[in-house]
Structure 1
Amino acid sequence: MRRLLLALVGMMTVLGSAAMAAPATSDWVENEAGKVRLIAAATTTGKAASMRLGVHFQLLPGWKIYWRTPGDAGYPPKIDWSGSKNAGAVTVLWPAPKRFVLAGLQNHGYAGEVVLPLDVALPRPHKAVSLKANLDYLACSQICVPMQADLNLTVPAGPAQPSDFADVISRFAARVPGPADVQGISIDSVEFISAGETTSVRLSVSSATPFDHPDLFIEPAETASFEAPRLRLSADRTQAILESAVVPGTLTAPLGQTPLTVTLVDGERAMELTAIPVAGAALPPMTADAVDGASFLAMLGIALLGGLILNLMPCVLPVLSIKVLGALGHGGAQLHHIRAAFIASAAGIVVSFLALAALAIAIKSAGAAVGWGIQFQQPAFLAVMIVLLLGFALNLWGAFEIRLPSALMNVGGGGGGHHTLLGHFLSGAFATVLATPCSAPFLGTAIGFALARGPVEILTIFTALALGMAAPYLLVAVWPQAAHKLPRPGRWMVRVKHVMGLALVATALWLGLILATQTGLLSEGDKADGATAWVKFDQAAIARAVSEGKVVFVDVTADWCITCKVNKAAVLDRAPVATRLRDGSVIAMRADWTTPDSGVAAYLASFGRYGIPFNAVYGPKAANGIALSELLSSDEVLAALRQAAGP
């Protein structure tokens, strides 16, 4: 009996220690906005006089919480630590915020996943700490809801060991703004300008690395509220001037006598500085296209070219079957009928691009991730596209024919859908929708430029893309004699329709496979012998591997991305690139964006990219990564691997 009791006591001790050491986390507290918990970077307190914790939020799409200075409305998370034991002063570290615009109000905060790192002083090192956090925060979507959560966490005494949450806490701690020089940024000046009734603060900065689209946040709010900054960039994007106007009626103290904290956020970089601004002179007025005007005009040209090339991408080929039949149906038709039909197709493309631009502006204003082709991550969208494609195929095969009122569709000549304005308009719109899984040359550059900026730039760049893609149709509208000289319609077109219908069915089957994968009906098989040993994407692991002198190749892909599959078949899965990725000298890391993933979206945005395919190479000589072209070549990949590895 004595031996049995000793054994039971020993088992209880071991199990109790394991139960305390393993979690390093409180229970999740869930509500309509998402869930929140308290996590620790270590499983035990160790010998240090403080320890690192984190308040871990996982917010549902469309919801956001607020930064320490929330902007025009809202309030930041507040924590009451009453009842905690062996816990002294608690310092909250605030990761760099994002700007949200809702109903015209400027707000600063976070969406998706975020961790607020905490440094907790331990009055008695070596002793266990018992934490009781009463968390009060405001979560907003279309409405704002005050939230409350009671979080309890006990960290036992013992030699410090990292927990499973050390990486995620470190990842968000790295986003906390630091000194400018650490971020590779130099401060040229902090000035205030008074011109009539307008007062503003201007920050001038330089960087060895080109800026993407920097944003500026100014505190304290008790001194004044500030509008979103106007931005000027040099031609090489290494110098930036950001000027934020004071909201009228909010200034409470002279700016030249009051210290201000300015926070500059540029992608993954963020710096913070406290200074008293000096008087500066007003600059010439800035307009929407005065921000690096030459670069903006050049980007418009790139967008036009990218849209034109999009017509040749494999995503658009199935829809070209419909357009080929439409063109053949014009043989011998009157010139004004041909012109009207091709203008309608071009209009379908332009209207669809404008709708995509409006959707991107709305999603970005709500603080959610936005990207090129993200609608293919939604099973409902895929299901609708499959039905439409099969419907078009059955129509081509003669299973049925849809005839709408001639008053709406017929442009003269009475035929089926190929001789109607609405039919041509819809074919143009359909081509645009199916083009979004492709990332043509120049397209990614233009999309990245637009989505990193404001509504005006997004709308302008998307319009240029639309005009580029619609250019062939507009050319025929200008010179309709080209279509007029095509063979006249006849019985031979029945066989052409059958062949074109097969192309649409093949596209529907491809979308069906993607839908099956997203819904769990189909999973990937085992890796074939000799194939590249891809590891799951982990952004934190990249920095660790580079610090150890290793080279990392990152491939961001999705089942719905046609260009990604072209890159795999032509470059990544073939020698000599495949040989290099398999020889053990490179860590091959793959991120799957088939379904929505805020982490992948944020990673792409850090490079100014909002669509895929995307590839980057890291190494001792390229710690920040070398971004590659949308369409890969073996020479480009091998050269980047050599550059990242160094001599």
Structure 2
Amino acid sequence: MKRHVLALLLLPAMLAGGGVSGFAQDVDGREGVGAWVKAGQVEARLVSAVRATGDLTALPLGLELRLEPGWKTYWRTPGDAGFAPRLDWSRSNNLGGATLSYPAPHRFSVLGFETAGYDTAVLFPIQGTPTTPGKPVDLALSAELLVCSEICVPQTLDLALALPAGPAGPSEVANDVARAQALVPKGPNGLLRIESVQGKGGALEVEATAIDGFVTPDLFVETDPPLTFSAPKAVFSDNDRHVRLTLAVTDPSPGLDLSGRAMTLTLVDGDKAVEAPVTASAGSGASGGGGAGLAAMLGVALLGGLVLNLMPCVLPVLSLKLMSVVKHGGRAPAAVCAGFLASAAGILASFLLMASVLVGVKAAGGAVGWGIQFQQPLFLVFMVVLVTLFSANLWGLFEVPLPRVLADRLGGDGLAGPFATGMFATLLATPCSAPFLGTAVGFALSKGPVEIYAIFATLGVGLALPYLAVAAWPRVAGWLPRPGRWMATLKIVLGFALMLTALWLLSVLTAQIGEVAAATVGLLMAALVLALWVGRSARGAARAAGPMLAGVLAIVAFAMPAVVGPSAGAAPVAGDSKARWVPFAEPTIREHVAAGRTVFVDVTADWCITCQANKKLVLNRGEVAQRLEESGVVAMRADWTRPDAAIAKFLADHGRYGIPFNIVYGPGAPDGIALPELLSDGAVLEALSKAAGRAS
């Protein structure tokens, strides 16, 4: 009814203004910028982010509007009245197609009527597709717009823009087009998230979260067939980081029930926006078009934990795993089962401990992510000390005797050792992401404590599956050689392997506290081993002096980050000679893409072994390195060795909370092509070609 009443009220004005065609106001002749055309209360022009077509298969264009004060035009779903821009490109030459995108709209509420659109000015991004790339493109657009104030006037504007053949360098409006593209709502990001959608008859209840807190949230609902909704009523909680938005259909039909209906939601809060296809549920949850339920994510987490056993990140713990396996050779099946179950329990306990820390940090408003413990100098010192002690233990320099009662309860040789080995192996195996793992962790960290604990527990089960398999079939251990003198030699070799792990940790620590401080920690660890060796060889009271001195040296090592400072003298990540890497700067990515360049972003860290493997095996060699050296490619490196809020936000915006993360942007992929955790030459080259807008 509202729509019909409004149409009758506005009909005289529409008839009076209908069919008015725009006329050229000026011709500025600048490359990539069309002439302004004015029609009544609106003027418009076509613009391009590039001066010429180059060899692009996707042209970054824009339709720019300016409206007189008090006038507005409409979004793709206008609401109670109005209509979206209607564009006719049929008179263009060498244009195969043009796709217009809509920046996040504003709400206009007048006399109970709710509409969505734009006032003052707006630039609609357009992706144009040349019929023949490399040839000139002559754009001719007939744009039919409805502009409204107290009255509404339809206007038709004839616009033109000629793009010659030639290098696709950036035009003077490239930044404006890039900013307009950034304002177009996209899929899930780390800033805003729609958590649940519930349909209750003709009403809709939407739960949403914002990592930085909401200011003025608004929600636009699109359905098929179309329905119009009231402005949302908001109820805030969790320091404005959570909001419940309630909307009602303005003209509900009898028996209308929104539960089970598919719709598209656009959540807007200032300059932030997110778009999500969802299905409203009748219960307390919602089905998101691109999301997965907790049950599906648990399956992904199980696979992620299992695959983590095969990642380069676990190389430092192979010594511990091998030692735990060979110790069970020739043992009774019950003892083998108990030992492997203890290791699995240690892995699970370690994951639950990490989940508890992440829940606490998130509740305190801090940034969370997978492997972020390796950004903390104290944690690195702790791991260096622990690895050194493990090595010294394997070399027979000290033993940790348990009280007799506890040792008996733990079953002879004890289960504390396997349990501690499982925990320690987990801590060393989790600085890097893995296939499936990143998806599961991203899902968990964007949710609440229940999901975080569930996902991390399942990851632990996945990582522990090899141990659980041996525990289920303990006779497998019977295939191993029986313990003997050969184990003494094996222990020495594995001890040196762990010391190599300590050296790697010290190299990571160097980026945190500087070379001098990290070298001091290394010398303290060498002195610790020497003290244990001297104490082991001494007699009487002097025998206890060695372990006591080792304890003092460990405490002094822990004091080094506090004395020196967390970043004093820290060394930057060494640049790679194989490519001209530039520092990460997210705002410049859109500018490079608008200028026709391809941007390869590598989010890496010194502590991420998988990242280092990707560099050595793929990025720094062969055809990939040559492509990254090309003039039209920008190789951008984001160093996450130390905490960096901009990098953490970039990862969260892409639903990632761990590294490695590599993504390629370009004219053919302005939203980016995310690559798998383990890179291959083929995957990188294919993404670079697609992003550049040409066949691989």
Fold equivalence (TM over 0.5): yes
Superposed, 1:301-312 pairs within 5 Å as 301-312=299-310
* Contact 1:333/1:484, CA 8 A, preserved across alignment: yes
* Alignment pair present for 1:506 and 2:494: no
Alpha-carbon distance, 1:485 to partner: 3.7
User: Which of 489, 502, 507 is 1:495 aligned to?
Assistant: 489
User: Which of 446, 450, 463 is 2:444 aligned to?
Assistant: 450
Q: SS where residue 576 of structure 1 aligns?
A: helix
Flag the 1:265–1:401 CA change in 2: closer, same or farther, 3 A: farther
Flag the 1:263–1:475 CA change in 2: closer, same or farther, 3 A: same
Alpha-carbon distance, 1:311 to partner: 1.5
Point out where structure 2 has 5 or more consecutive residues left out of the alignment. 1-105, 107-174, 188-196, 220-230, 252-264, 516-569
Alpha-carbon distance, 1:303 to partner: 1.3
* Contact 2:604/2:637, CA 8 A, preserved across alignment: yes
Alpha-carbon distance, 1:462 to partner: 1.3
* Residue aligning to 1:483: 477
Amino acid at match of 1:603: F
* Contact 2:512/2:642, CA 8 A, preserved across alignment: yes
Q: SS where residue 225 of structure 1 aligns?
A: strand
Alpha-carbon distance, 1:517 to partner: 1.9
* Alignment pair present for 1:264 and 2:267: yes
* Residue aligning to 1:396: 394
* Contact 1:346/1:473, CA 8 A, preserved across alignment: yes
Superposed, 1:188-267 pairs within 5 Å as 201-202=204-205, 225-226=235-236, 244=244, 264=267
d(CA) in 1 for partners of 2:689 and 2:233? Answer: 52
* Residue aligning to 1:615: 662
Flag the 1:219–1:394 CA change in 2: closer, same or farther, 3 A: same
User: Which of 566, 591, 596 is 1:549 aligned to?
Assistant: 596
User: Which of 327, 330, 338 is 2:328 aligned to?
Assistant: 330
TM-score by length of 1: 0.59
Q: Give the percent of matched residue pairs that are identical in Structure 1 and Structure 2.
A: 51
d(CA) in 2 for partners of 1:268 and 1:305? Answer: 37
Alpha-carbon distance, 1:543 to partner: 1.0
Flag the 1:496–1:214 CA change in 2: closer, same or farther, 3 A: same
Superposed, 1:418-567 pairs within 5 Å as 419-521=413-515, 523=571, 527=575, 531-567=578-614
Flag the 1:527–1:599 CA change in 2: closer, same or farther, 3 A: closer
Amino acid at match of 2:614: N
Superposed, 1:282-297 pairs within 5 Å as 283-287=281-285, 295-297=293-295
User: Which of 618, 625, 631 is 1:584 aligned to?
Assistant: 631
* Residue aligning to 1:629: 676
Flag the 1:243–1:422 CA change in 2: closer, same or farther, 3 A: same
Flag the 1:177–1:623 CA change in 2: closer, same or farther, 3 A: closer
Alpha-carbon distance, 1:486 to partner: 2.2
* Residue aligning to 1:114: none
d(CA) in 1 for partners of 2:340 and 2:218? Answer: 55
Alpha-carbon distance, 1:583 to partner: 2.6
d(CA) in 2 for partners of 1:534 and 1:471? Answer: 40
Of the structure 1 ranges 310-319 and 494-503, higher mean CA displacement relative to structure 2 is found in: 310-319
Cα-to-partner distance string for 1:103-138 (whole Å, 9 max, x where unaligned)? xxxxxxxxxxxxxxxxxxxxxxxxxxxxxxxxxxxx
* Contact 2:330/2:478, CA 8 A, preserved across alignment: yes
d(CA) in 1 for partners of 2:409 and 2:574? Answer: 55
d(CA) in 2 for partners of 1:526 and 1:497? Answer: 35
Flag the 1:483–1:551 CA change in 2: closer, same or farther, 3 A: same
d(CA) in 1 for partners of 2:382 and 2:414? Answer: 23
Q: SS where residue 235 of structure 2 aligns?
A: coil
* Contact 1:370/1:610, CA 8 A, preserved across alignment: yes
d(CA) in 2 for partners of 1:366 and 1:485? Answer: 50
- Calculate the aligned-residue CA RMSD, in Å: 4.2
Larger radius of gyration: 2
Point out where structure 1 has 5 or more consecutive residues left out of the alignment. 1-95, 97-169, 186-190, 206-210, 229-241, 247-252, 273-280
d(CA) in 2 for partners of 1:309 and 1:266? Answer: 39
Give aligned pairs, total: 428
d(CA) in 2 for partners of 1:268 and 1:311? Answer: 42
d(CA) in 1 for partners of 2:605 and 2:689? Answer: 27
Cα-to-partner distance string for 1:509-530 (whole Å, 9 max, x where unaligned)? 01101112211226358757x5
Q: SS where residue 183 of structure 1 aligns?
A: coil
d(CA) in 2 for partners of 1:351 and 1:265? Answer: 40
Alpha-carbon distance, 1:297 to partner: 3.2
* Alignment pair present for 1:368 and 2:362: no
Cα-to-partner distance string for 1:159-210 (whole Å, 9 max, x where unaligned)? xxxxxxxxxxx99x979997xxx4269xxxxx99778xxx9753599xxxxx
* Residue aligning to 1:183: 185
Alpha-carbon distance, 1:406 to partner: 3.7
Flag the 1:588–1:439 CA change in 2: closer, same or farther, 3 A: same
d(CA) in 1 for partners of 2:481 and 2:294? Answer: 44
* Contact 2:346/2:420, CA 8 A, preserved across alignment: yes
